[in-house]
A and B are shown apart, each in its own frame.
Chain A
Amino acid sequence: EAQVTQNPRYLITVTGKKLTVTCSQNMNHEYMSWYRQDPGLGLRQIYYSMNVEVTDKGDVPEGYKVSRKEKRNFPLILESPSPNQTSLYFCASSLGLADLQYFGPGTRLTVT
């Protein structure tokens, strides 16, 4: 089954404790992205990747890092989480730029 998986689905952590949210897709897609969703703001893109070792900043990259060492994985790293990073995070992938994006189920992160 074609899918994008994210782990963990839910995470409560404390300020400053490094964390990684994993994202994996099994469709051999080149394009992957991370978004955060906040009430009234829709989805905002954090980082995206066009291929292995090719990443670029989206709309709101501050406080986040990503890596793309393999085509299927695109982890999101918060080196020092802060409460303003409390949000719902989505990973997405697509085959091409004009193709639909497949979204992961979302990760709800709370930073206290």
Chain B
Amino acid sequence: AQKITQTQPGMFVQEKEAVTLDCTYDTSDPSYGLFWYKQPSSGEMIFLIYQGSYDQQNATEGRYSLNFQKARKSANLVISASQLGDSAMYFCAMREGWDNNDMRFGAGTRLTVKP
């Protein structure tokens, strides 16, 4: 079964607007971590933001915020004030438990920012 689901293969957003990239996850472990990564066309993987399952507040990092809805098992990434350089693939990932390094990634969403 898919642990991480990203239902949007591709998204378009106008420059300077906000965009939400969806991510839902499946786990029965109460302890887990959720990650978002960006992969530009150059291929490198860039960490964006992290949310722990016990964190009370939604994580924020600059223009990135994570809309964490635990009951719905969703961890959507919100990018505010989109820039042309935000065009990339975005991956949601989850690590379950605190005694292993087993990471599961979603299939990714390709975001294109239009000028």
Q: Do A and B bind each other?
A: yes
**Interface size class for chain B?**
20 to 34
Please name all residues of chain A whose beta carbon is closer than 8 Å to the beta carbon of B108 when the two chains form the complex. Answer: 42
B47 near A45 with CB under 8 A, answer no
B interface SS class: strand
B105 near A44 with CB under 8 A, answer yes
Given A43-B91, A105-B43: A98 and B104 interface contact (C-beta under 8 Å):
no
Please name all residues of chain A whose beta carbon is closer than 8 Å to the beta carbon of B47 when the two chains form the complex. Answer: 100-102
B101 near A59 with CB under 8 A, answer no
A-B contact count (CB 8 A): 68
A83-112 residues with Cβ-Cβ distance < 8 A to B are 88, 90, 92, 94, 97-103, 105-106
Q: How does the 8 Å CB contact mask read for A40-70 relative to B, with 1 for contact and 0 for none?
A: 1111110011100000101100000000000
> Looking at the complex, which one of B45, B91, B100, B103 makes contact with A50 (CB distance below 8 Å)?
B100
With most chain A CB atoms within 10 A of its CB, the pick from B43, B44, B45 is B45
A97 near B98 with CB under 8 A, answer yes
Min CB–CB distance A85 → chain B (angstroms): 18
Please name all residues of chain A whose beta carbon is closer than 8 Å to the beta carbon of B35 when the two chains form the complex. Answer: 100-101
Please name all residues of chain A whose beta carbon is closer than 8 Å to the beta carbon of B106 when the two chains form the complex. Answer: 42
**B40 at interface by CB-CB < 8 Å:** no
Please name all residues of chain A whose beta carbon is closer than 8 Å to the beta carbon of B91 when the two chains form the complex. Answer: 42-43
B101 near A41 with CB under 8 A, answer no
Taking beta carbons and an 8 Å cutoff, which residues of B are in contact with A?
4, 6, 33, 35, 37, 43-47, 50, 52, 91, 93, 95, 98, 100-108
State the 7 A-B residue pairs at the shortest beta-carbon distance, nearest first.
Answer: A103-B45, A100-B47, A48-B101, A43-B105, A42-B105, A42-B107, A31-B101
